Amino acid sequence: MPFLIHRLSRFMRLRLRGWRLPLAVAVAVFLTSWLAMVLVEPAGGDITAPGTYWWYFLVTAATVGYGDVFPTSIGGRLVGAYVIVGGIVTLTLLFTRLSDALQSLRFRRLRGVVPLELFDHLVLLGYWPGRTERIIAELTAEGRYQVALAAWDDVPENPMPDHPAVHFVRGDLTHEDVMDRACVPAARTVVIDGRDDNETLAIAVAVVHANPDVHVVAAVRDLERAENLRYVSARVQVVQWHMPFLLTEEATDPGIAQIYSDLMRSGGRGNTYSLVVPAGFAHTTFGDCQTWFGREFGATVLALRGPDGLAVSPAWSTAVPVGATLYYVAGRRIPARELAGR
């Protein structure tokens, strides 16, 4: 007998895999218990009626037992015990299967093979240990965006599994499948951080094909490759690879990279300058300086270096003593003589 039970259980495990096994057990217990209840309970009893027995079976198998319907004979009570055992077995199989399914889904998400469900998010294509973590920390610092991190197959699983704002996919970053799984067609910004400039160019082609209107930020080693990337799309903004802070600022606030580029380029529409506050300068607070520089020269004061060190965009009430250094953006350098006595 034990041999037959073992063979039967093995047959059921092989033939009834997945969700079918608990269903098969529940159906088998239901049918056999109903037949047994009909045989042992007095004729005409309510419990064996088709419209009643399913309810008795459900509450008994779930071990709830409301007691509104119950067997009256000893045989019926034994059948009830059988239903309880069958219900426990069914629930155990069901919860085991559910646990396995959830664990499998979590494992597949960790491995980056499950399509994401994101919208208006940031996509980061490419993974560099250490560098990518710093970039993502900046991208998610304000808590405004979810990030889809896409890496090549040599990254076996999500490198940041405990970061709630980071979702992971992996595969060929130039392939349409990765674009779809990372939800590039629904993204607001895509950041490309490839292993070299040729790869970055190939990824950009795939990104623009998936979403022609997306804001693309590409990190390159050679800024001369900017023209090649703009052949792909005029919306691609190029940033030097060794400036990851600018990569994140451009991703979250489009257009900043162009401003930095113009400020750092000699002959741009605005350059950064500095001057030392001379004796007799009439504007003694940062706010007064900001207003006066803007009105007189069309300049914007960015920072102040005084006795307490450098302060970028300090409060307007901050004192500006003689000998302090002001840093400003303007179309030309303002000679100190134009400040004296004004």
Supply the DSSP string of 321-342, one letter for each residue.
-TT-EEEEEESSPPPGGGTTT-
pLDDT at 149: 95
Give start and end residues of each alpha helix (H) in the chain: 2-15, 20-40, 50-61, 74-111, 131-139, 176-181, 197-210, 226-232, 244-252, 256-264, 286-297
* Domains defined for the chain, CATH in brackets: 2-111 (1.10.287.70), 122-264 (3.40.50.720), 271-338 (3.30.70.1450)
Q: Half-sphere exposure of 299 toward its Cβ, with a 13 Å CA cutoff?
A: 25
pLDDT at 217: 93
Overall pTM surpassing 0.85 (yes/no) = no
How many CB atoms sit inside 10 A of residue 278's CB?
A: 15
Strands 271-276 and 325-330: antiparallel
Structure tokens at 122: 């940031």
Residue 151: which of 117, 110, 197 has the closest Cα? 110
Q: Which residues of the chain have pLDDT under 70?
A: 1-19, 44, 100-110, 262-270, 340-342
For tokens 């040599």, what's the residue?
154
How many CB atoms sit inside 10 A of residue 342's CB?
A: 12
Q: Which residues pair with 276 in a beta bridge?
A: 325
Q: Is there a contact between 326 and 275 (Cβ–Cβ < 8 Å)?
A: yes
For tokens 């674009």, what's the residue?
179
CA distance 1 to 29: 20
CA distance 262 to 82: 81
CA distance 184 to 207: 7
Q: Distances in Å between the alpha carbon of 279 and those of 159, 297, 307, 339, 341?
A: 57, 20, 16, 9, 8
How many CB atoms sit inside 10 A of residue 329's CB?
A: 19
Give start and end residues of each alpha helix (H) in 215-323: 226-232, 244-252, 256-264, 286-297
CA distance 150 to 165: 14
pLDDT at 197: 93
